[in-house]
Amino acid sequence: MNRRKIISSFPIIRLITPLILLSVGLQIIIISHMYIFKVDVFAETMQIGLRFIRGIILTFIAAAILAYPSIHLIINLNQTLSWKGSPYKRFFIQFSVAAIFGILVSPCILFPAIWIFGLESDFHTLLSNVYYMVVLAIFVMAFLEARIYFIDSAESYQAKEILTQKLIAEAANKARYKAQIQIEEEKNKYAHKLIEKERQLNSELGQEIEKRKIIAKELNEKTNQLNSILTNLSGAAYRCYFDEQYTMQYISEKIYDISGYHAFEFTDNSKMSFNSIIHSEDKEEVKKKIQESFVSKMSYEIEYRIIHKNGDCIWVNENGKGIYNDNGNIEYLDGIIVDISRRKLAEIAAKESERNYKELMNFLPQPVFELDLQGKILFNNKSGQDFFGLPDPEKNTEKSSALDFFIDEDIPRVAENIKKTQQSVNASPNEYTVKKPDGTLCPVLIYGSPIIRNNKVVGRRGIIIDISERKKHELKLLEAKEELERINNSLEKAVSERTQQLTETNTLLLKVQKENIQSQFEILKQQINPHFLFNSLNVLSSLITKDLAKAQLFIDEFSQIYRYVLETIEKTVVTLGQELSFVRSYFFLQQLRYGENLILNINLDSNLLNLFIPPLSLQVVLENAIKHNVVNDSSPLCINIINEGNWLILSNNVQTKISMVKSMGLGQKNLIKRYTLISDNTPSFQIHNDNYVVKLPLLNIENNESIDY
């Protein structure tokens, strides 16, 4: 319905009656509301009547003003935004515009009314008038919407009636035409009788042909569907005879991806038999497995090797079953062949990594162990088996308890440390006394850390260091001290007579003190070596579960690095050049784990490479930087090594890692003690401009002749 026709349907004369009724109804509602909730508004009945008549007049004028803008709005919305397509959006737009119309009309009605009827012009009156005008605009909009809908419906009904009459007339014409055709057919029926019979026969023959085409098409579709399913299987499906050559009656084209030969080459042994590509060492085993399945008439599963067309050896898994005839004799073998070479290579690589791991553990001179949460020994290396006289846990089904090898006084402390492991707490190294197989007691120092699998603590691993020699040194020092005290007590009585003896005693004291310093230095190095070892083993443990190839490379490089650790175990200092060579190898292992997210920059004067430094000093600093900072794609860790004179400056950006385990600071304390024993200069550790900075002094042996390296 066009705009002009709709507007012509609403002349002002036809709108007077509904607008008057709307005005009267709205005033009745307003007067009733005011009378009920504001009783004192009307003092007399006459005042109510005047208020009623005045309201009708003003409401009618406002409704007349709102009518035509509302009609145009409804027409535009009907053309662009129907109720059926977007009801909520249409309602929101129409309601909002109606409210705006009411607000705009309000002053046009209120101000003349104030002038004519002498109404009060306070804020409350203005607000009430705006409210009434908005309500009136909404009522007018709703009335006009209903009226336009009624007009559209009437037109639609009229158009429908006209269309119905046309259809009836057309149907009558068709019926007359069909009747004429039927009369003509009756006239010619006899003449075409023979032709009809011939057509019937031809039709039946055509139907039969069509049926055969449909059956052939369905068969072809099912065949294509079956071939598609077999092609998309992970392996090659087959049916073969159980003869010497395993003659294939059918095998899917997937066999080409596995063996390099097409399916048609095996079908009926056209070019080769399937038996010819089975590895010669596996042929008898394959035949034996299939024959064993015939006894129980169950399916069989075999893993064996075939020779690829390019000469490679391919591992396959064959899963099949025999098909028997009515006499119970084997007729066919049906099954599927799957390429499992990757899985086999992974199994072999895993076994090789495990073997290398065990060989590395057996290479270590210190006993290494792994316990479960109950303290049972799950693993110990060759040194541990020799030290405690234990059998190999992998060959011994009954596991020994670690508590059985400690003296009774130490068992509660050992049990407490195992309990802390369940809480994922890294216990500090402790001294214990263990019982050896020959019954002797041996003091040991034990380092340990939790074993974590899938974010869950499953046990504890550690290393045992025999400190018998250190205890002997301590005992000698104690005896020397007692002897010195005894000599000092007798010096007052015979100073002149014992001068020479005192000189010899002082000389002995200096020697003992030097031995004491050397002993302390050896103890500190014994702390460094296991600490470095266990951090490296933890990295290796993580890599084994993630990337076997990297784990293998890690083991090979780690064996070379640990050789350097063992070679420097007897040395107090090494050259800076030696230490830097070791650091580069150590950093290579760390980059296997972190990749390009870990960066090392070294910029040193070449004349410093012959100066000296305690062994593993740089490794301790680098290890602490990696341990206590986040290293990932979004936060790479950059470590710089430069020099200021004869001082090494190591710095890294601070991006602290959130950890439940509090750092004990053993690495820094150990490094400071080692420098204190050999030099007046000691390392410093500080945070400067969001960088953690470590300063290490380089030693000149010519000025430190007392150092034994």
Handedness of CA 622, 627, 631, 636 (dihedral sign): negative
Q: Is the pLDDT of residue 641 over 80?
A: yes
CATH number of 233-339: 3.30.450.20
Of 505-519, 589-603, 679-693, least confident by mean pLDDT is 505-519
What is the per-residue pLDDT across 137-174, written as a single tens digit (0 to 9) for each? 777 777 777 777 677 676 666 767 777 777 777 777 77
Q: Give 679's pLDDT tier (boundaries 50, 70, 90).
A: confident
User: Could you tell me the two tokens for 79?
Assistant: 């053309």
pLDDT at 582: 87
Q: Give 652's pLDDT tier (boundaries 50, 70, 90).
A: very high
Cβ–Cβ under 8 Å, residues 268 and 248 = yes
Q: Is the pLDDT of residue 612 over 90?
A: yes
Strands 235-240 and 248-251: antiparallel
Same fold, 233-339 and 351-462: yes
User: Could you tell me the two tokens for 534?
Assistant: 């266990």
Q: Is the pLDDT of residue 482 over 60?
A: yes
- The residue behind tokens 């162990």 is 369
Q: Is the pLDDT of residue 89 over 90?
A: no
pLDDT at 154: 67
Q: Is the pLDDT of residue 621 over 70?
A: yes
Domain residues of the chain, as ranges?
3-164, 233-339, 351-462
pLDDT at 118: 63
What is the per-residue pLDDT across 167-218, written as a single tens digit (0 to 9) for each? 777 777 777 777 777 777 776 676 677 677 777 777 777 777 787 778 777 7
Cβ–Cβ under 8 Å, residues 680 and 642 = no
Q: Is the pLDDT of residue 675 over 70?
A: yes
Q: Is the pLDDT of residue 416 over 60?
A: yes
pLDDT at 139: 74
pLDDT at 504: 66
Compute the distance between CA of residue 88 and CA of residue 596 in angstroms, rounded to an integer.
Answer: 55
Q: How many residues does the chain have?
A: 709
Q: Give 547's pLDDT tier (boundaries 50, 70, 90).
A: confident
Handedness of CA 50, 54, 56, 57 (dihedral sign): positive
Q: Is the pLDDT of residue 707 over 60?
A: no
User: Considering the chain, what is the average pLDDT of its residues?
Assistant: 77
Q: Give 610's pLDDT tier (boundaries 50, 70, 90).
A: very high
Q: Is the pLDDT of residue 683 over 80?
A: yes
Q: H helices within 233-340, ranges in order?
A: 255-259, 263-266, 283-296
pLDDT at 512: 44
Q: What share of the chain is helix, strand, coil (3-state, %, to 5)?
A: 60, 15, 20
What's the mean pLDDT in 387-393? 73
User: What is the model's pTM?
Assistant: 0.36
Superfamily of domain 351-462: PAS domain (3.30.450.20)
Residue with more model confidence, 339 or 110:
339
pLDDT at 230: 59
Q: Is the pLDDT of residue 553 over 90?
A: no
pLDDT at 638: 95
| Residue 682: C-alpha distances to residues 77, 528, 676, 694 (Å) | 86, 18, 6, 11
Q: Give 692's pLDDT tier (boundaries 50, 70, 90).
A: very high
Q: Is the pLDDT of residue 706 over 50?
A: no
Q: Is the pLDDT of residue 602 over 90?
A: yes
Compute the distance between CA of residue 412 and CA of residue 395 in angstroms, rounded to an integer.
Answer: 29
Q: Give 248's pLDDT tier (boundaries 50, 70, 90).
A: very high
Q: H helices within 39-122, ranges in order?
A: 45-80, 87-117
